[in-house]
Amino acid sequence: MNDIGNNETSPSRDHLAEADVRPVVVVHPVHNSFDTFYRREFSKLAVLAGTVAGNRSVGEDIAQEALSRTHKQWEKVAGLDKPGAWARRVTINLAIGRRRRFASEAKALLRLGPTASEAAETRRGDPSVWSAVDELPPRQRAVIALHYLEDRPVAEIAEILECTVSAATSNLHKARTNLAKTLGESHG
């Protein structure tokens, strides 16, 4: 098993919800207020969630929900070395969960609602990149966003996604290969 006990990571929601951890454990002083955290993280979480969900407005909705949950747990989360990782994990789980939960209707509704062309239009940057990203499986989207949006190394991505480094590496490789194929480029 990986020894990550001393590394930056986060408490699980399940764990925090359990009665056996009712005591408030403040490991580190709370340096940053939630306000600061919110302002710093919202836009990145929104892009991350929007990438996974394939829809910018839904991404902002999910980011808000993730930050709302973070706020509820703030006394604990603030004590972590990197509370942002915790918020990202929540964000990705919400985004993937939402996709799966509404898998049958969502695909059609998303096509009918904010359409592909509209989605591309409302997103900035290269529309063909967004179209290619939207074709990826959700987990690969998350890896791509964490890698290119935040320049996170694979080890950190693995911790956020709660997977092994090899799994994160594999997902990143697959995602880049798929993107390169779709975009007609070589990813080297």
Partner 1 sequence: MADQTPSNSPFDDRLRATFNAEHADVERRHLAAGTTVASTSSRSTRMPLAIAAALLAIAGFAFFGNRSSDTAIDLGVAEQPADSEIEKTLDSDDDDGGAIAATTGEGAEQAPEAVASPSPTPTPTVGPNPTFPTATPVPPGGTNFDRCAGVEISRNPAFVWGIGLDDPDGGLVAHTDAAIDAPITRILPLDSAGVRPTGQCRVAANGSPWFEILGPSGPDWVSSNFIKTAQSACLTGEHYGAVVEDGEATERVFGPLDGWAIMGTERVAFAAGINAPTTYRWYPADAVAISTPCFNQSEVGEEVCLSGQVVLFNFTSPEPLMSFSGSANARTTGRLYTPLEDRGLRDEFIEVAVAQSSETTIIGFVDPAATTVTFGACPTGGSDALADLPCTAASSEVVVGSTDRGTTASDADHVHNIRTERAAGCTRIVIDFGIDSTTDTDALADRLPLIGIDKNLVSTTITLPATITGLAKVQRVDFDWGVTLYGGDQVVTLHRPGKINVWFSEFPARAVIDIEIPAQEPRFASGPITGRAAVLSQHIQTDLFGPGIPVNTPVQITGFARPFEASGQWYVLAADESGKVLENREPVAEGIFPTTRWVDGWGEFQATLPALPTGHYVALYGSSPPRGDIFFAGSGQYFRVGLPADGTYAEATEILHMEFSEPFPRDS
Q: Tell me how long the chain is.
A: 188
Q: Considering the complex, what minimum distance in angstroms separates the CB of residue 156 from partner 1? A: 11
Choosing from 52, 67, 90, 92, the residue that interacts with partner 1 (CB under 8 A) is 67
Binding partner 1 (rule: CB under 8 A), the pick from 135, 149, 181, 182 is 149
Contact between 90 and partner 1 by CB under 8 A: the answer reads no
- Nearest by Cα to 92 from 39, 36, 141: 141
Tokens read off for 32: 């940053």
Residue 20 per-residue DSSP state = G
Is 98 a binder of partner 1 (CB under 8 A)?
no
Shortest distance in whole angstroms from residue 186 CB to partner 1: 7
30 vs 149, beta carbon nearer partner 1: 149
First to last CA, the chain: 32
Position among 30, 32, 111, 181 found at the interface with partner 1 (CB under 8 A): 111
Binding residue (CB under 8 A) for partner 1 from 95, 129, 134, 182: 129
* DSSP assignments along 91-104, one per residue: HHHHHHHHHHHTHH
**Nearest one of 32, 39, 46 to 74, comparing CA atoms:** 32
Smallest gap from residue 76 Cβ to partner 1 (A): 9
